[in-house]
């Protein structure tokens, strides 16, 4: 149980830090090529992708304990 939990916590931290790095790189290098609305949409879509990855990963762990 702890090995599965530990790996999910590590992946959660990596996904969050990776998203922050993406946001900084996007704001620093690519945002000027897009309008404000397009930039907001890119940020929201990237957040939704991260949430989907984490949701699927944690749901599979949580479903093991439902009876």
In this structure, are residues 65 and 8 in contact, taking their beta carbons and an 8 Å threshold?
Answer: no
In this structure, are residues 42 and 34 in contact, taking their beta carbons and an 8 Å threshold?
Answer: yes
Question: How many domains, in total, are found in the chain?
Answer: 1
- At 9-44, the pLDDT tens digits run 999 999 999 999 999 999 999 999 999 999 999 999
In a domain, 54, yes or no: yes
Lookup: tokens for 46? 């990237």
In a domain, 21, yes or no: yes
What's the number of CA atoms in the CB half-sphere (13 Å) around residue 46?
Answer: 18
pLDDT band at residue 63 under the 50/70/90 scheme: confident
Q: What is the pLDDT of residue 67?
A: 63
Domain residue limits at 32: 11-59
In a domain, 35, yes or no: yes
In a domain, 30, yes or no: yes
In a domain, 16, yes or no: yes
């Amino acid at each position: 149980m702890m090995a599965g939990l530990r790996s999910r916590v590590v992946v959660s931290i990596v996904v969050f830090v990776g998203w922050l790095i993406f946001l900084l790189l996007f704001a620093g290098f690519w945002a000027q090529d897009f309008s404000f609305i397009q930039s907001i949409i890119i940020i929201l879509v990237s957040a939704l992708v991260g949430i989907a990855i984490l949701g699927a990963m944690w749901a599979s762990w949580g479903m093991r304990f439902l009876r």
